Amino acid sequence: MATSPALEARWQLYRLLGEPFRLRLLALAAEEELALGELAELLDESQPNVSRHAGPLRQAGVLAERRHGTRTFVRLAEGMEGDPVIVDALSIGRALCEEEGRLSRIPELVRQRDARTREFFSRPLARAEPSTLAAELPAYLHALRELVPARELAVDAGTGDGVLLDALAPIFRRVIAVDRSDAQLERAAERVALRGYGNVSLLSAELGDEAIRRAVGHGADVVVASRMLHHAPRPRVALEALTRLLKPGGRLVVVDYQRHADESFRERQADVWNGFDAEELEAHARAAGLTDVHARELPQGLVQSHTDDHIGWQTLVGVRPNTGVTEPRGG
């Protein structure tokens, strides 16, 4: 008697999951979206072997994958958490990984994604003349055109050398410029002093630090993250942290690269991600609790940078609703 296609698929799923290595792989991919190389490190296996085991899981619809340049990232496919067979497999896989200490290694591995980025931005910087307006300024102004009328407070997250302050400081009564690199903040301080921006405060902190929340108080009218998200180990988590800095009705503006395949550029700039698809950015923003989300391509003619004007830029705008996101705490 012939087996129905549906039963055949279920039987094959049991057969596919009857392998401890795949159970471990599945549990790790459910915990965090990971590159094949990262999975190989966690599983103490070669990348080709990990890829060989991940392939059938992807073909069965259990794992989803996406490519960033030369890297392939895998994660548990949407809807799999509701499949009782997968739930049981994940339970066993997690138990194996916890017993072997693999799950506990994930946070450190994710943190290492931006280790090269940290080193890159800590290097002594070549001196550039800060007295001239930045070539990128037209693009920034275009991205900021949809700002809400409220102009009490803006946060420049990942300010770098402060180039965006030339757009924010003249508009907002108060600006908080945040960066985790002291070397970058020294350059920003030179710009602030040269321009006489008495309304700008510089803050050395990691995104998500309590110090930022205290400085922001009841929330910012606008939070801007310009060419910062592609350095974030977890872009969605970064967007959640940025959203929490907004007051209800405040807007988040992200300026970042479109998805590209220039792997040498990513290596030179110590980027974590090869830009983003517009749909990907919008999905991350909605998951972070933002509404009225839209991502749009920036006109190529506005990008006058000599280092990355060959890569498409885009802007994402979203609004923090009145409910549903934890309020920042004043102090």
pLDDT at 191 over 60: yes
Q: What are the pLDDT digits (tens) for 120-173?
A: 888 887 666 665 667 787 688 778 877 757 889 999 999 999 999 999 988 899
| pTM higher than 0.85 | no
pLDDT value of position 305: 76
Asked whether 190 and 170 are in contact (CB, 8 A), the reply is no
pLDDT value of position 331: 41
Provide, rounded to the nearest whole percent, the portion of the chain with pLDDT above 90: 75
Asked whether 223 and 252 are in contact (CB, 8 A), the reply is yes
pLDDT at 330 over 50: no
pLDDT at 326 over 60: no
pLDDT value of position 170: 87
DSSP string, 168-207: HTTT-SEEEEEES-HHHHHHHHHHHHHHT-TTEEEEE--T
pLDDT at 269 over 70: yes
| Domains present along the chain, CATH in parentheses | 5-101 (1.10.10.10), 121-319 (3.40.50.150)
What's the CA gap between 69 and 10, in Å, rounded? Answer: 34
Mean residue pLDDT across the chain: 90
pLDDT value of position 325: 55
Q: How far is CA 42 from CA 19, 31, 65, 104, in A?
A: 17, 12, 18, 10
pLDDT value of position 329: 47
Structure tokens at 329: 């705490």
pLDDT value of position 50: 97
pLDDT at 303 over 60: yes
pLDDT at 314 over 70: yes
pLDDT value of position 324: 57
pLDDT value of position 94: 96
- Maximum CA extent, the chain: 84
Q: What are the pLDDT digits (tens) for 205-229?
A: 999 999 999 999 999 999 999 999 9
pLDDT value of position 134: 73
Tell me the mean pLDDT in the region 243-272: 95
pLDDT value of position 14: 87
Give me the helices (H) in the chain, please. Answer: 5-17, 20-31, 36-43, 47-59, 84-100, 106-111, 115-122, 137-143, 165-168, 182-195, 210-216, 235-244, 263-269, 278-287
The more confident residue out of 118 and 130 is 118
pLDDT value of position 137: 78
Map residue 127 onto helix, strand or coil.
Answer: coil
pLDDT value of position 155: 98
pLDDT at 195 over 60: yes
| Best mean pLDDT range from 135-139, 288-292, 304-308 | 288-292
Tell me the mean pLDDT in the region 237-247: 97
Q: What are the pLDDT digits (tens) for 7-57?
A: 667 778 888 898 999 999 999 999 999 999 999 999 999 999 999 999 999
